[in-house]
Amino acid sequence: MIQNEIIEKYSEMTMEEREFLVQTLESSKPKKILEVGIAAGANSVIILDYLDKTNQIDNIELHSCDYNTKYYRDIITPPPPAI
């Protein structure tokens, strides 16, 4: 779950942060999860991977929201206008 090729390549999360997330899911046994702030979606990938591999994907709801409409590291996004 915490070893994921896509996460390793694109996420800014450390191995310790990913381990903490999975341990929190294991210990708290949530029925619903609210993720505020998505960025690149690494957290979502880890959560969904965990739910899938533990056969809980159909029993636990994940709700994710983000105020930003663009990913902050997206190189396609033009820089803000100069003042």
82 is a domain residue: no
Number of structural domains in the chain: 1
74 is a domain residue: no
Across the 83 residues of the chain, what is the mean pLDDT of every consecutive 10-residue run?
72 89 96 92 91 96 89 68 69
Domain range enclosing 58? 5-65
Token pair 């999860």: residue: 33
| Residue type at 77 in one-letter notation | T
Would you list the DSSP string of 15-36?
A: HHHHHHHHHHHHHH--SEEEEE
Q: CA torsion, points 29, 31, 36, 38, in degrees to nearest 10?
A: 80
Single pTM value for the model: 0.78
Positive or negative, the CA dihedral 29, 13, 41, 54 is negative
61 is a domain residue: yes
76 is a domain residue: no
50 is a domain residue: yes
